[in-house]
Amino acid sequence: MTSLRIRFFALSVAATLALGFAARIFAQSGSGQNDNSYLSSSKTVATYSPSDFTPDGDLSKAVWKRAKWVEFDHDPTGKTENPSVKTRVAAVWSDRYIYFAFSGRYESLNVYEGEDISKERWELWNRDVVEVFLNPRPERITHYYEFEVAPNNQWIDLEIEKTKTPFNDASWNSGFEHATKIDEENHLWLTEMRIPLSAVGVQKIHDGDQWRVNFFRAAGHGGDEKRTFLAWSSIPQGGTFHVPNRFGILRFVK
């Protein structure tokens, strides 16, 4: 996979190649369809926490029990359901951080073995991951941030600007914290992320603020044509996760 981060959702090799070509053209253009307006009606809520906490992968905390959870199991186009990897996600915010938690079913896990998980892993998306694409300034539709964590707690964060080539900057470092746990008995893998507001250019969140966000999951072994990809806010045209006008709404409530 090239630095253009193209993901394929085709059901056959021929369709995969066709979509791949179209997606590369799309990515190279630096913009998607209707980049000046949002097209998704997906909505979720981030609840307020008066105190901060360190991610440890334990989702039994009271803060997550009070959170608003949403779940998704459909492929990015929204046409195919994949209940074997159904995923739940929730968001919490404090005066200093925004937190995300994922709980996802799994049949098997595909990770990079024997690597230093303290170091950022380029092309982490070629293994199992959960992902947050986050835009705290919705008026700037082509600029957002990407956070990925794998079941073994490997990670990568990127700053994205779709008008640039390449559009993904891995040298950007948010300092986000993350932790994972594997619940083998229930076949779940659990993830927590903690992202400093200052890293995404935000001084303070106010009750009622709305950002744009999308959540993704990649699962399975082999090439992209054999793997399973999920998106919370669907991307009907498929081809790539990087379609910011399909990001849903994240509303902050206190």
Q: According to the model, what pLDDT value does residue 98 have?
A: 98
Q: According to the model, what pLDDT value does residue 35 have?
A: 66
Q: According to the model, what pLDDT value does residue 147 have?
A: 98
Q: According to the model, what pLDDT value does residue 132 have?
A: 98
The helix, strand and coil proportions of the chain, stated in percent and rounded to the nearest 5, come to 15, 35, 50
Q: According to the model, what pLDDT value does residue 2 have?
A: 35
Q: Which of 40, 1, 41 is nearest to 20 (CA)?
A: 1
Q: According to the model, what pLDDT value does residue 36 have?
A: 75
Q: According to the model, what pLDDT value does residue 16 have?
A: 37
Q: According to the model, what pLDDT value does residue 26 have?
A: 32
Residues of the chain with pLDDT under 50: 1-34
pTM: 0.87
Is 108:212 a contact under the CB 8 Å cutoff?
no
CA distances to 48, 57, 107, 119, 254 from 110, in Å: 34, 19, 10, 18, 38
